[in-house]
């Protein structure tokens, strides 16, 4: 058995402004940096066999903050862990998307069609397929040896990863919510089954650092 410590990146200025980030690459703001260090303090006693993160800065910076001073853990970037590509909608607020793309926005918010993709972007089905690839790669990393693996990624990818680990269809992805610097833990067995032990816990952040 292995345990995945699944983390959403800390907050960015775009998060604070309610902008869709997707695969755009803003850095953590000061609050996000503090969130990462707080989570690192919480996980300081957890021995990690390895660490993986999206190659976007908000994730690599969060992972670096968590692992600050831990030279025993090797951090590897995985482009496959990137957030869903929102195409032309990236950088816009939800209100701006609704004003500029009223019909696609309404379809996205109400139809629940996992094949829908924003203009120039990625569908939930495509994100879910990418998450399946990630799950298989992570399993190969620790199968037979066990251990703990830190995984720092994005809200959309976390939804897809949890759905994949639990054998849920892509349509169930949006039943989950993940806060910035929230921690989830899943026990993953060698036969491919998984159990979620902790979901979106932010108790380490304390007053002033939670969303």
Please tell me the distance from the alpha carbon of residue 1 to that of residue 111, in angstroms, as a whole number: 38
> CB 28: neighbour CB atoms within 10 A?
26
113, 127, 115: which is closest to 155 by C-alpha? 127
Residues labelled as active-site residues: 9, 83
Instruction: Using only the alpha carbons of the chain, give its radius of gyration.
Output: 17
DSSP 108-155: HHHT--TT---TTS--HHHHHHHHHHHHHHHHHHHTTT-EEEEEEE-H
């Amino acid at each position: 058995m292995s345990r995945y410590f699944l983390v959403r990146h800390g907050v960015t200025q775009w998060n604070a402004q309610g902008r869709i980030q997707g695969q755009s690459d803003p850095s953590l703001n000061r609050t996000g940096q503090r969130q990462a260090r707080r989570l690192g303090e919480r996980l300081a006693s957890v021995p990690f066999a390895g660490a993986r993160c999206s190659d976007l800065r908000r994730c690599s910076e969060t992972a670096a903050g968590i692992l600050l001073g831990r030279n025993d853990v090797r951090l590897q970037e995985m482009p496959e862990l990137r957030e869903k590509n929102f195409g032309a909608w990236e950088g816009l607020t939800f209100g701006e998307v609704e004003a500029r793309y009223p019909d696609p926005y309404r379809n996205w918010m109400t139809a629940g069609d996992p094949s829908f993709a924003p203009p120039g972007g990625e569908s939930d089905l495509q994100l879910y397929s990418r998450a399946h690839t990630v799950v298989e790669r992570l399993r190969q990393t620790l199968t037979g040896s066990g251990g703990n693996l830190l995984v720092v990624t994005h809200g959309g990818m976390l939804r897809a990863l949890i759905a994949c680990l639990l054998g849920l269809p892509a349509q169930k992805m949006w039943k989950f919510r993940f806060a910035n610097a929230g921690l989830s833990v899943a026990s993953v067995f060698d036969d491919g089954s998984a159990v979620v032990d902790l979901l979106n816990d932010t108790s380490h952040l304390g007053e002033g650092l939670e969303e």
